[in-house]
């Protein structure tokens, strides 16, 4: 792992506090990895425009903290199950895929994006951060050739209907979609196909972020006998 750039290094206390607030008990290695990722995102962003957020402190709140807030719910969902495969759709600069991979080494995370430079950045991040469980695909998700995933996640990727429709063929039989949203929209939920069900809406509190956040969990309904 390359040495951290100064702005990211100075954010260590703030990241530690975010982890404490979210009850994540971040290890020193995980903190180092997340800060190195933040520095890498900042460096590549100068050339490749991976995110509109430029200030490192705002990146920590709007990106890292926002994604760290889903780790607890994701772990609870996966608890007791086998090693999981997760697909991050429209991953952009690797959010939340890189964060999930960094904090869950037993989980295999694949990030897919239609923009080649973004997939290239995630591959670079996987190499520099030593995340052997992180992979990137440059493709349209509906054309992706891959084994099924236990959880498919998106962060403001599309409407719930489009998100589930485009990725349905990639979901394992007992899998679930996890949509990261600002708030739950009754109209979006109503547009879902009849055989899909929203089985949980989980409201999130993101440290330092004065905005609504929630997770919308969706799965296929089990046919009645």
Alpha carbon distance 32, 155 (integer Å): 24
CB 184 within 8 A of CB 157: no
Q: What was the pLDDT predicted at 46?
A: 82
Residues 94-129: pLDDT tens digits? 999 999 999 999 999 999 999 999 999 999 999 999
pLDDT tier for residue 6 given thresholds of 50, 70 and 90: very low
> Which domains can be identified in the chain, with CATH numbers?
68-220 (3.40.50.150)
Instruction: List the strands of the sheet with 171-181, edge to edge.
Output: 134-138, 108-113, 85-89, 149-155, 171-181, 213-220, 196-204
Count CB atoms within 10 A of the CB of residue 8.
Answer: 22
Alpha carbon distance 87, 104 (integer Å): 14
Residues 143-187: pLDDT tens digits? 999 999 999 999 978 999 999 999 999 999 999 999 999 988 999
């Amino acid at each position: 792992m390359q040495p951290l750039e100064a702005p990211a290094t100075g954010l260590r206390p703030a990241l530690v506090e975010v982890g404490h607030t979210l009850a994540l008990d971040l290890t020193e290695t995980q903190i180092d990895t997340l800060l190195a990722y933040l520095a890498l995102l900042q460096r590549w962003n100068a050339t490749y425009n991976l995110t509109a957020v430029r200030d490192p402190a705002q990146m920590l709140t709007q990106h890292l903290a926002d994604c760290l807030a889903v780790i607890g719910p994701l772990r609870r969902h996966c608890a007791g199950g086998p090693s999981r495969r997760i697909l991050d759709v429209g991953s952009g600069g690797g959010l939340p895929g890189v964060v999930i991979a960094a904090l869950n080494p037993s989980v295999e995370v694949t990030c897919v994006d239609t923009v080649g430079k973004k997939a290239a950045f995630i591959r670079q991040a996987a190499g520099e951060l030593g995340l052997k469980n992180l992979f990137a695909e440059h493709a349209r998700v509906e054309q992706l050739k891959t084994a099924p995933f236990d959880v498919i996640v998106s962060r403001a990727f599309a409407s719930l209907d489009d998100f589930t429709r485009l990725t349905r063929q990639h979901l394992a039989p007992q899998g679930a979609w996890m949509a990261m949203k600002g708030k739950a929209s009754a109209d979006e939920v109503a547009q879902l196909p009849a055989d899909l069900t929203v089985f949980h809406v989980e409201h999130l509190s993101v440290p330092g972020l004065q905005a609504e956040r929630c997770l919308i969990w969706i799965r296929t309904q089990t046919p009645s006998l």
